Amino acid sequence: MADDHVRCTYNDVHKLIAKASERIQSEFKPDVIVAIGGGGFFPARVMRTFLKDPSTKRNIPIQAIGLSLYESLPDTTEEQLGNMVVRTQWLGPPNNLLGRRALIVDEVDDSRTTLQ
């Protein structure tokens, strides 16, 4: 059965992330990665392999936030599912991103509502 899906191997994905990381490092130079969970954890972790602090040559840190758009959580209504992003984990004042070059990583941006 033929369909329009593109099927990538882990190696394909790893290579795509490596290539994107080169451009991100040269054009943006992030000093922290913010992974949007759950889907952003994997690409953020792989990307961290390639993104280094230029002065120390060490990996840059990853912070994590939890957002849910499609998952049924306690206190969410049917109207909210797929329409309203719910914060399940957020960065507090000790992890303030003000003045940081934060790279926000998610696996897909299908709704354009994740960061609203």
**Marked catalytic residue, from 12, 53, 109, 110:** 110
Is 12 annotated as catalytic?
no
Q: How many CA atoms lie within 13 A of 56 on its CB side?
A: 7
The stretches of the chain forming alpha helices (DSSP H) are: 10-27, 41-50
Strand order in 32-37's β-sheet?
86-89, 62-68, 32-37, 102-105
The DSSP bridge pattern shows strands 102-105 and 86-89 to be: unpaired
**86, 91, 97, 98 alpha-carbon torsion, rounded to 10°:** 80
In this structure, what token pair is assigned to residue 17?
């992330």
**Catalytic residue numbers, as ranges:** 110
